[in-house]
């Protein structure tokens, strides 16, 4: 059987697809999977007759941390072959690192010997869910640093509780956070009347939530998308109405200018100019500015003619 590249692939390979929602809810990944006890699975609601098969299947995973050897998967590649190759490469790097370390030199790792080898566990292991406790991350010795054996890219036995980064570390958590960020950005676009951009972000968020089987958030994203579509339609209608009003003002202004009613013409042109500015129609705005200048010039011309009359 090929090496799974995610908790989804693991469940599909071993026939546990029905428990994927539970895995996602408790943020179970391939690292956490191997550390769970019978009581842990029972607490999550796994059927009693499936607990032992689950634990046995977890023991078939390669030794070490998925988060570490998963870094060796080339960007843009997926599938079991790429993951298996990354595992082999990481195991080779770890073996080389151990050979380079001096006897008794620390780092908190044990020497590996095939599939039965296991990483040294801290006294407090990180569990699943919101009550997870953080385990201390192994600290490399000066010798390790000098010989380059403690680089994160080469560490195979990184513990699940080692990460102190506040951002999610599981694939499910990362996708969930990305979807929520898209929802926030979509709402920001709505407030700025960038409805097309908002629609795109809500659609992307909806697709992510569907992949996570988060029905509640799928409905929320769909509702936001529908609201944005309605607002876009209303905004387009409003823009069209403003465009028609602006055209009417221009026509009235030209008619007034033709009758030498320059002040009335200028007022019409100013109102039309404001509408075109708000709609972003800069070409029409420039044309209105030219008409306004004509009205002002005609007004001055009429005033000079009046002053020269006997």
Q: What was the pLDDT predicted at 94?
A: 53
pLDDT tens digits for 142-169? Answer: 455 444 434 433 433 344 344 434 555 5
CA distances from 97 to 69, 120, 155, 159, 160 (A): 14, 16, 8, 17, 20
How much of the chain exceeds pLDDT 90, in percent?
20
CA triplet 45, 177, 73: central angle to 5 degrees? Answer: 85
pLDDT band at 303 (very low <50, low <70, confident <90, very high): confident
> How many C-beta atoms lie closer than 10 Å to residue 136's C-beta?
13
Evaluate whether 111 touches 117 at the Cβ level (below 8 Å). yes
């Amino acid at each position: 059987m090929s090496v799974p590249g995610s908790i989804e692939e693991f469940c599909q390979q071993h026939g546990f697809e029905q428990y994927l929602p539970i895995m996602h809810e408790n943020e179970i990944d391939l690292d956490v999977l191997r550390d769970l006890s019978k009581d842990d699975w029972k607490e999550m609601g796994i059927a009693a007759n499936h607990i032992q098969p689950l634990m046995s299947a977890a023991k078939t995973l390669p030794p070490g941390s998925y988060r570490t050897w998963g870094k060796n998967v080339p960007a843009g590649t997926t599938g079991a072959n790429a993951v298996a190759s990354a595992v082999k490469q990481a195991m080779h790097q770890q073996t080389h690192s151990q050979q380079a370390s001096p006897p008794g030199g620390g780092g908190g790792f044990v020497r590996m010997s095939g599939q039965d080898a296991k990483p040294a566990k801290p006294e407090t292991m990180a569990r699943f869910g919101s009550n997870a406790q953080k385990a201390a991350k192994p600290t490399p010795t000066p010798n390790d640093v000098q010989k380059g054996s403690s680089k994160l890219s080469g560490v195979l036995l990184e513990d699940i509780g080692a990460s102190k980064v506040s951002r999610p570390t599981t694939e499910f958590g990362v996708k969930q956070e990305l979807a929520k960020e898209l929802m926030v950005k979509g709402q920001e676009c709505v407030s700025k009347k960038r409805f097309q951009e908002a629609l795109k972000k809500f659609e992307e968020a909806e697709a992510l939530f569907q992949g996570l089987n988060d029905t509640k958030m799928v409905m929320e994203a769909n509702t936001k998308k529908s609201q944005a579509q309605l607002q876009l339609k209303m905004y387009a209608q409003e823009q069209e109405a403003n465009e028609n009003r602006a055209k009417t003002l221009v026509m009235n202004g030209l008619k007034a200018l033709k009758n030498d009613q320059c002040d009335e013409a200028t007022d019409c042109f100013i109102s039309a100019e404001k509408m075109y500015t708000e709609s972003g129609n800069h070409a029409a705005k420039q044309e209105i500015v030219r008409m306004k200048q004509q009205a002002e010039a005609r007004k001055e011309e009429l005033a000079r003619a009046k002053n020269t009359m006997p």
